[in-house]
Structure 1
């Protein structure tokens, strides 16, 4: 508990923890609401939905592989910023598709960018959050995981608040969560640049 109190008072750690938690909550919102949106509102068949779900899963794998290749060559904060930018683009595409009725392909594109970005943001937030924790790394990792599931548990039911017949609640929830992640990263994780990151390692 003393370690947790110390971690909760560490603004940089909590900034990364909240960034990860909010991004994972966006993922939980997608898992909770995408089947209804795609199958009930856009008429996607169960087989078609499984293909879309698989495509997004492949996007996570591809993004994580790219992040892994760039690790050590590109500073982790820059990779995280890229992942958050990718998620933000997906949220904007999804919101535009819902509000302007741009059709199924744009909805799928929005989902793809948001979900795939998890492959970048999850690894980089974990790495950045744990890099200075030393002997507290185990407790810090546990706190990271707990926050992700707490935020996910809160976010998942919110996508159904608008009732049937609209994808807008899902789009709003995902955009709000990703915007929150960007704010946490921007405001709370600033600090002295590490020499290795300044050198691009």
Structure 2
């Protein structure tokens, strides 16, 4: 029997929050657990660094289009059935990836893995909007990100440890088992949160059309996506930057990656505490300029003749700042399109992973021995986020002025 969604205080119950966070772990588990194996994949298939990074790009493209599809379908068909179907696809494609005989098959399997895994990510956000409102949505989004942030701490270290005994293929079998576990958790805990009357009024394309006509949604969705691009640039380049540029071992890289994840989790938790007092918009207004400043600092250190390990400092600051932005900006975007939250979550995820898929191969264009492309792309993405925040503030002032005019 499904468990109650809300506790006595009217907040999302702990069991639901944990399962939602587990679903949101799809992307970090499927990327971070696998990242330490990049050099071994390159060796096994004789591929280039950019070729290996395409296995990450394929996953991100699948996540982008999968969220677009599953989000819109969940508005029309409900949340539960599409969620379970996505888990089945993710499980099967993980098995295919584990058995891949070539880099091309691995890229294709990762694409399908992203398509299926997208269901959990996009529908988890939609369920939160179904059950919570206003600052509570921002708080819950940040809490989900905090709990889900356990994956980036554990996954790289575990992935590095697994490289010896089982290699990257064993990592894919591990992911298959995790997707099976997700299916069990969803079946045991969740109930349908999209009422039938809401589904009858929604069409697959109508919801998507509604969200692209809402300027506030578009601004904060783009802000969310560009912030994610900063983090994805770091993630996709991190294996080479930490191991080849800074000289860390595979285990040392996993530890450093985990330290950065602790910063992300800490800021996400602090952000959830601020949601009810300071508010999501005020937090974002402070965090975005800081993200730009820290990204510029990363670029400065990358071009300076300084010890390479110093890069770890501005990278940590940048990743930590992301935690103040992601949950709040997603809540601000989805609050503007509550009536089609599945499609809103789909657009949010699509933009997020399209940006991620674009920056992922670009971060490696300079080869494995430089951090400069990563630093440049992080700075550009952070600058775009700052421009979007400025545009949102300008729009809000104009609307306030128009409302005050007799």
Please, what TM-score do these two structures have when normalized by structure 1?
A: 0.89
2:396 to 191, 196, 201: 191
Deviations 1:4-58 (A, max 9, x none): 1221122211110111111111111111101111211121122221111000110
- Residue 191 of structure 1: SS of its match in structure 2? helix
* Structure number with higher relative contact order (C-alpha < 8 Å, ≥ 6 residues apart): 1
Cα distance in 2 between the residues matched to 1:148 and 1:117:
17
| 1:197 paired residue number | none
Deviations 1:108-141 (A, max 9, x none): 1111111112211111101111223231122111
Say if 2:242 and 2:253, in contact at 8 Å, map to a contact too.
yes
Matched, 1:138 2:347: no
Say if 2:216 and 2:336, in contact at 8 Å, map to a contact too.
no
- Report runs of 4+ in structure 1 exceeding 3 Å deviation: none
Matched, 1:163 2:367: yes
Say if 1:91 and 1:174, in contact at 8 Å, map to a contact too.
yes
Matched, 1:177 2:352: no
- Residue 102 of structure 1: SS of its match in structure 2? coil
Deviations 1:176-200 (A, max 9, x none): 0111111112114532699xxxxxx
What is the CA distance between 1:2 and its match in structure 2?
2.1
| 1:25 paired residue number | 229
Please, what TM-score do these two structures have when normalized by structure 2?
A: 0.46
| 1:120 paired residue number | 324
What is the CA distance between 1:81 and its match in structure 2?
1.9
Higher mean alpha-carbon deviation, 102-111 vs 137-146, is at 102-111
Structural mapping, 1:1-201, within 5 Å = 1-188=205-392, 190-191=395-396
Q: 1:164 to 1:54 in 2, by over 3 A?
A: closer
Say if 2:292 and 2:379, in contact at 8 Å, map to a contact too.
yes
Cα distance in 2 between the residues matched to 1:20 and 1:102:
32
Say if 1:89 and 1:113, in contact at 8 Å, map to a contact too.
no
For structure 2, list consecutive stretches of 5 or more residues without a partner in the other structure.
Answer: 1-204, 400-406
- Residue 324 of structure 2: SS of its match in structure 1? helix
Say if 2:240 and 2:369, in contact at 8 Å, map to a contact too.
no
Q: 1:75 to 1:192 in 2, by over 3 A?
A: farther
What is the CA distance between 1:75 and its match in structure 2?
2.8
Cα distance in 2 between the residues matched to 1:92 and 1:180:
13
Say if 1:93 and 1:109, in contact at 8 Å, map to a contact too.
no
Q: 1:85 to 1:125 in 2, by over 3 A?
A: same
Q: 1:105 to 1:148 in 2, by over 3 A?
A: same
Say if 1:29 and 1:159, in contact at 8 Å, map to a contact too.
yes
Cα distance in 1 between the residues matched to 2:304 and 2:341:
46
For structure 1, list consecutive stretches of 5 or more residues without a partner in the other structure.
Answer: 195-201
Cα distance in 1 between the residues matched to 2:210 and 2:337:
10
Say if 1:93 and 1:106, in contact at 8 Å, map to a contact too.
no
